[in-house]
Amino acid sequence: MADKTAVPDLAPAPAPAVPQALTDAPGYQVRRLHQAYVALWGRAVDATLTGPQFAVLTAVHAAPGRDQRSMASAVALDTSTMADVARRLENRGLLVRRTDTADGRRKLLYPTDEGERTLRAVHERARCLGERLLEPYDDERRADLLRLLTSLADRWEGLATGC
């Protein structure tokens, strides 16, 4: 008589092969890159400060007192996402949003001392991650790759705004 209490084999099935239609799709590859980058950022740079938050802090540090809308454009965020990121950074005490006295609808962004300390602490880890990501390439190939990525991003942003 068979043992009815036997545990069935729960080994995971092998992952199916990725269809050629996906591997040939630039958007699929970009999504893979983004997912890997976000995972690496969380482990190698900062588990609580996101890449977009780091970008905003970096931009605010470089140009304190600029308005939230122009900062959104500078770091490639839409205005609603920028408002959310700025609010989160403000709640963490990393930046201050002040209402523009000349235009009450505008919010001007300033780093706090804690924001400056956080940026300094994270900056080197972010630089090291960038080095690690591009490690297989010599300086010339890195420059070519960054030019291609920038060109691709510029083109896709242009297409997205033209829809």
Q: Residue ranges per domain, the chain? A: 50-134
Mean pLDDT of the chain: 92
Give the residue-averaged pLDDT of 23-41: 94
50-134: CATH topology: Arc Repressor Mutant, subunit A (1.10.10)
158 burial class (0-12, 13-18, 19+ CB within 10 angstroms)? exposed
Q: What is the mean pLDDT of residues 88-114?
A: 95
**For residue 11, what pLDDT band results from cuts at 50, 70 and 90?**
confident
The count of other CB atoms within 10 Å of the CB of residue 52 is 17
Beta strands in 57-157 (DSSP E): 95-99, 107-111
Task: Decide if pLDDT at 119 tops 90.
Answer: yes
Residue 117: what pLDDT? 96
Share of the chain above pLDDT 90, in %: 82
